[in-house]
């Protein structure tokens, strides 16, 4: 029982953090705080905090609305207002929410943006999204940073300098102007130090899936774990405390040889270990997860949990080079890596975490994630001879989650894995 | 006691059953149309497979005679078709009765008139159908009760008074489904005795046909032999019938697959994904198979297998069933021809008309437009067939392409035009590969299921017990 209580501690912490965040947002005016809207990939949380601004992440609102079954209505609202069926469903969900009064997922009103900060340009939709928001909020200051793509699988000093120049000449001056606060590099450094600390912890946490059985699910539970580091707490002591607590709880699970916790309690038997590429479906998140844990499948690594930062190769925010490190962070986000880099990272996960299989959940409305996924899958299959599976759904549009289709494919996939395992056992016995 | 294993593939259009022996050899096949009541569909397919198995056993017993004497060959061929007719007749009797009940429950004033017309139709189509089964081998064409009756019934309704059209169609729609969902218990021995009587009448009435070169010479050889010697065949048959009819076709275990598998009353571990079953079945028949394409009623699957027949990867259509078997069914309806006629008609094409819509619904509109513009029917059909195969090819590409050897399975593999384009496009994209198509292609999923059933046997004894009870 003591463990149960401890297990809940990190969850309670996280709940408090998020509630606090939305409370602050609802009272931004009263608190006299400026509000910055920005996206998760390549987010400049530390810099925004240096200017004491509160942050709104539109895609987080969209996915939270989807988990609360509100996205379908918002999307319809956006479509009624001439947003096409093919537009990214995060955008439509967000636009629909604004049209209905900008009430956030917690039921509290979200503040209007003072700044629209676009610090990752790898997703073209992000630009169009903020164009739409600018039309809605003409008084907001738009700050756009161009993030070079890692076309040649590397970040050159020139690329970093190019971004630092934009920070110095565009981002910082505009933030000073909006907030009336002078740029304080010492403060930024303090935030960056705490970021690096949280990054160390989260890396250790996702590395615990090396254990058999894996004590955590690095995808379905992983999306909760990345919450604090992605949504505004990176660079704060709160995030460090949360991850320390979570790590402690996971250590206890490991000592006891326990598997991951699912919405229906502990997973009894770990039958398959998988690596998953692509975001999850949010509208039927529970049903989607259930298909996996019912079959005894645990996700030991996922690319989606790296969208807010790739720490696998040891990269951390470095307080000694504050602006350079922010530049590198932007360029180092998962979707800014080129396809061979993504393949290498996924292969490393499959090997390091001894995965039995690799599954792609391809998202209908997300081009920056989905483009190239089939080719990546083929290459991974060929080089590692690992059984691969491919399913399709969507982020937050409930119309694109076909339960029976997905279940049928996953069932076939798991039976295929089972057959393989049987065969390998028999071959080993001979 | 000999052990047999059953595989049931409950597809969206047809339900298939296959019984194998301990050497994985198929000894019985059964197929029927899938209907609202899945259990009945599965049961009918299984019953048919068991009858078929008895015929297989009978054929094995008479192997020597069949190999050496044309009259035995002819007789065995004929008796299967007649046997099917006897089953058909029972259902027809039931349909006739149901028609009466249906019409009596109508609120029309002219019930008597409707009933008289229905009786007239039945009196007309009964001998037609009998003739087709007994003399023209309808039994081998894999047509189902509903299809056979509705085709002829509709033709007769066309001839009836216009005012009766609506009640006649309504009476049919309301009567066919309960009859189809009725599980009729047949007695094999009774049916075969009836069949022998029917055959006796047929052979007695045979007259000498002059060889006019319109048929192969073996046709006359068989005909003459059976005419002179059928009593002898009957006599030999009777020696074995009791034994065969009483033999327990003991189904040791079974596996259910297909899109409706979750609804089968089987224990959970006796249910397998159709992807694995199709691959396993195709691989068993063609052991060098590395790529399997299966086009079924509502999905198309491209499957890669290893040297053991185990699936390494697969891809199937998503969210949309355009380009699958049901699409062909819809197109056949649009043209007012039967599904079996589609392929041959498309083969007559001089060129393929470009079809933009593989969306089933839009294709209908496009076809009408093309016909209106004077495009020839075979050319349009050829274009439609090509469009289907193009969709399948993109799935194959997604699953990793075609590896030698390539096996094509599923109901659609029976369509000659689809086959032609598959061959063409596979060769164009992947070069010369060995391409396998088997007459049993539609049964591959059920075969794979039966093979899994045989292999699962030692795994779980309590389950084994349960499946015997279910059987």
B157-213 tens-digit pLDDT: 999 988 999 999 999 999 999 998 888 888 888 999 999 998 888 888 777 666 676
Mean per-residue pLDDT, B348-358: 85
- Beta carbons within 10 angstroms of residue B350's beta carbon: 8
Mutate to test the interface with A, among B269, B271, B273, B277 (most CBs of A within 10 A): B273
Enumerate the residues of chain A whose CB falls inside 8 A of the CB of residue B274.
Answer: 412
A387:B313 CB<8 A: yes
Spatial distance between the Cα atoms of A241 and A12, rounded to a whole number of angstroms: 12
B251 has which bridge partners? B4
Looking up tokens 């340009």 gives A121
Residue B357: what pLDDT? Answer: 67
In angstroms, what separates the C-alpha of A312 from chain B's closest C-alpha? 29
Pick from A390, A405, A423: which is nearest to B315 by CB? A390
Residue A342: what pLDDT? Answer: 96
Mean per-residue pLDDT, B147-163: 90
A420:B310 CB<8 A: yes
Q: In this complex, how many residue pairs, one in chain A and one in chain B, have their CB atoms less than 8 Å apart?
A: 44
In angstroms, what separates the C-alpha of B456 from chain A's closest C-alpha? 11
pLDDT band for position A8 (cuts 50, 70, 90):
low
Flag the least confident range among A54-63, B37-46, B220-229, B433-442. Answer: B220-229
**Fold equal for B1-59+250-284+447-471 and B287-437:** yes
Mean per-residue pLDDT, A89-106: 92
Flag the least confident range among A177-181, A349-353, B77-81. Answer: B77-81
Spatial distance between the Cα atoms of A124 and A129, rounded to a whole number of angstroms: 9
Pick from A402, A408, A412: which is nearest to B319 by CB? A402
Could you tell me the fold of the domain covering B287-437? Nucleotidyltransferase; domain 5 (3.30.420)
Residue-wise pLDDT for A290-349, tens only, equals: 999 999 999 999 999 999 999 999 999 999 999 999 999 999 999 899 999 999 999 999
Residue B319: what pLDDT? Answer: 65
Enumerate the residues of chain A whose CB falls inside 8 A of the CB of residue B313.
Answer: 381, 387-389
Pick from B273, B319, B398: which is nearest to A405 by CB? B319
CATH number of B1-59+250-284+447-471: 3.30.420.40
Quote the tokens at residue A81.
């207002």
Give the gyration radius of chain A's Cα atoms: 21
Residue-wise pLDDT for A41-73, tens only, equals: 999 999 999 999 999 999 999 999 999 999 999
B217 vs B390, higher pLDDT: B390
In angstroms, what separates the C-alpha of B385 from chain A's closest C-alpha? 25
In angstroms, what separates the C-alpha of A380 from chain B's closest C-alpha? 12
In angstroms, what separates the C-alpha of A388 from chain B's closest C-alpha? 6
- Is B238 part of the contact surface with chain A (CB cutoff 8 Å)? no
- Is B315 part of the contact surface with chain A (CB cutoff 8 Å)? yes
Pick from B275, B313, B318: which is nearest to A392 by CB? B318
Residue B329: what pLDDT? Answer: 85
Which percentage of chain B shows pLDDT scores above 90? Answer: 44
| Domain regions of chain B by residue span | 1-59+250-284+447-471, 60-79+189-246, 287-437
Residue of A nearest to B278 (CA): A412
Residue of B nearest to A420 (CA): B310
Residue B142 confidence (pLDDT) above 80: no
Residue of A nearest to B257 (CA): A412
pLDDT band for position B237 (cuts 50, 70, 90):
confident
Domains, chain A, in order of start with CATH, read: 26-184 (3.40.50.11890), 188-429 (3.40.50.11900)
Q: Write out the residues of chain A at the interface with chain B, using a CB-CB cutoff of 8 A.
A: 374, 378, 381, 387-390, 392, 400, 402, 405, 408-409, 411-412, 415-416, 419-420, 423
pLDDT band for position A405 (cuts 50, 70, 90):
confident
Residue A249: what pLDDT? Answer: 94
Mean per-residue pLDDT, B77-101: 91
A416:B315 CB<8 A: no
Residue B457 confidence (pLDDT) above 50: no
CA–centroid distance for A194 within its chain: 19
B276:A419 CB<8 A: yes
A412:B276 CB<8 A: yes
Spatial distance between the Cα atoms of A282 and B82, rounded to a whole number of angstroms: 58
Residue B116: what pLDDT? Answer: 94
Residue B209: what pLDDT? Answer: 67
Residue B422 confidence (pLDDT) above 80: yes
């Amino acid at each position: 029982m003591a463990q149960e209580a401890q297990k809940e501690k990190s969850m309670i912490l996280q709940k408090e953090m998020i509630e606090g965040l939305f409370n602050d947002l609802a009272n931004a005016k009263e608190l006299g705080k400026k509000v910055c809207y920005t996206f998760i990939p390549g987010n400049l949380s530390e810099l925004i905090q240096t200017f004491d601004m509160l942050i709104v992440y539109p895609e987080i609102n969209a996915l939270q609305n989807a988990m609360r079954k509100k996205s379908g209505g918002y999307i319809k609202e956006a479509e009624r207002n001439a947003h096409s069926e093919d537009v990214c469903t995060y955008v439509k969900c967000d636009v629909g929410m604004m049209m209905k009064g900008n009430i956030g997922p917690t039921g509290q009103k979200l503040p209007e943006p003072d700044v629209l900060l676009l610090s990752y340009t790898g997703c073209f939709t992000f630009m169009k999204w903020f164009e739409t928001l600018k039309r809605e909020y003409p008084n907001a200051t738009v700050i756009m940073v161009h993030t070079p793509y890692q076309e040649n699988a590397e970040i050159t000093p020139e690329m970093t300098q190019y971004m630092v120049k934009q920070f110095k000449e565009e981002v910082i001056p505009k933030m000073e102007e909006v907030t009336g606060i002078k740029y304080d590099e010492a403060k930024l450094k303090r935030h960056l130090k705490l970021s690096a600390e949280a990054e160390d912890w989260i890396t250790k946490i996702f590395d615990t899936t090396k254990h058999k059985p894996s004590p955590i699910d690095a995808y379905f539970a992983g999306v909760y774990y990345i919450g604090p580091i992605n949504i505004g707490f990176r660079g704060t002591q709160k995030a460090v405390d949360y991850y320390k607590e979570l790590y402690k709880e996971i250590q206890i699970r490991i000592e006891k040889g326990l598997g991951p916790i699912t919405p229906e309690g502990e997973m009894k038997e770990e039958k398959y270990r998988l690596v998953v590429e692509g975001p999850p479906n949010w509208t039927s998140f529970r049903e989607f997860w259930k298909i996996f844990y019912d079959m005894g499948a645990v996700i030991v690594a996922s690319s989606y949990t790296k969208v807010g930062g790739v720490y696998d190769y040891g990269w951390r925010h470095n307080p000694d080079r504050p602006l350079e490190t922010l530049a590198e962070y932007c360029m180092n986000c998962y979707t800014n890596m080129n396809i061979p880099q993504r393949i290498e990272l996924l292969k490393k996960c499959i090997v390091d975490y001894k995965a039995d299989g690799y599954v792609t959940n391809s998202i209908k409305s997300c081009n920056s994630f989905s483009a190239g996924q089939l080719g990546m899958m083929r290459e991974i299959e060929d080089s590692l001879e690992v059984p691969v599976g491919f399913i399709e759904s969507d982020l937050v549009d409930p119309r694109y989650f076909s339960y029976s289709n997905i279940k049928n494919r996953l069932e076939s996939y798991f039976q295929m894995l089972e057959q393989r395992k049987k065969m390998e056992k028999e071959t080993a016995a001979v | 006691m000999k052990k047999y294993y059953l595989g049931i593939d409950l597809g969206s259009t047809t339900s298939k059953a296959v019984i194998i022996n301990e050497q994985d050899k198929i000894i019985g096949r059964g197929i029927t149309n899938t209907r609202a009541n899945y259990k009945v569909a599965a049961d009918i397919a299984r019953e048919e497979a068991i009858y078929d198995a008895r015929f297989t056993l009978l054929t094995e017993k008479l192997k020597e005679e069949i190999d050496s004497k044309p009259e035995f060959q002819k007789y065995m061929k004929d008796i299967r078709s007649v046997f099917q007719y006897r089953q058909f007749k029972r259902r027809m009797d039931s349909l006739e009765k149901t028609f009466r009940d249906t019409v009596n429950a109508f609120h029309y004033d002219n019930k008597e008139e409707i009933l008289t017309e229905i009786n007239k139709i039945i009196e007309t189509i009964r001998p037609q159908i009998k003739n087709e089964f007994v003399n023209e081998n309808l039994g081998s064409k894999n047509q189902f009760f509903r299809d056979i009756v509705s085709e002829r019934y509709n033709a007769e309704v066309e001839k009836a008074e216009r005012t009766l059209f609506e009640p006649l169609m309504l009476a049919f729609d309301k009567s066919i489904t309960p009859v189809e969902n009725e599980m009729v218990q047949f007695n094999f021995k009774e049916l075969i005795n009836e069949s022998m009587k029917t055959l006796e009448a047929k052979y007695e009435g045979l007259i000498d046909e002059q060889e006019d070169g319109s048929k192969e010479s073996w046709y006359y050889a068989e005909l003459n032999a059976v005419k002179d010697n059928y009593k002898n065949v009957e006599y030999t048959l009777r020696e074995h019938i009791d034994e065969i009819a009483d033999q327990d076709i003991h189904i040791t275990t079974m596996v259910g697959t297909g899109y409706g598998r979750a609804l089968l009353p089987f224990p959970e571990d006796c249910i397998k994904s159709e992807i694995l079953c199709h691959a396993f079945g195709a691989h068993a028949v063609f052991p060098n198979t590395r790529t399997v394409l299966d086009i079924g009623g509502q999905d198309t699957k491209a499957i890669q297998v290893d040297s053991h027949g185990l699936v390494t990867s697969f891809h199937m259509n998503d969210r949309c069933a355009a380009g699958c078997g049901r699409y062909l069914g819809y197109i056949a309806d649009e043209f007012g021809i039967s599904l079996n006629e589609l392929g041959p008609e498309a083969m007559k094409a001089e060129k393929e008309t470009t079809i933009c819509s593989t969306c089933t619904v839009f294709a209908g509109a496009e076809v009408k437009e093309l016909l209106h513009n004077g495009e020839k029917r075979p050319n349009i059909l050829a274009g439609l067939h090509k469009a289907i195969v193009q969709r399948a090819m993109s799935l194959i590409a997604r699953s990793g392409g075609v590896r030698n050897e390539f096996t094509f399975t599923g109901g659609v593999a029976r369509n000659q035009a689809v086959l032609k384009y598959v061959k063409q496009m596979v060769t164009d994209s992947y070069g010369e590969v060995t391409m396998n198509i088997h007459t049993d292609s539609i049964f591959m999923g059920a075969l794979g299921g039966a093979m899994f059933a045989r292999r699962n046997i030692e795994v779980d004894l309590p389950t084994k017990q349960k499946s015997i009870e279910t059987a």
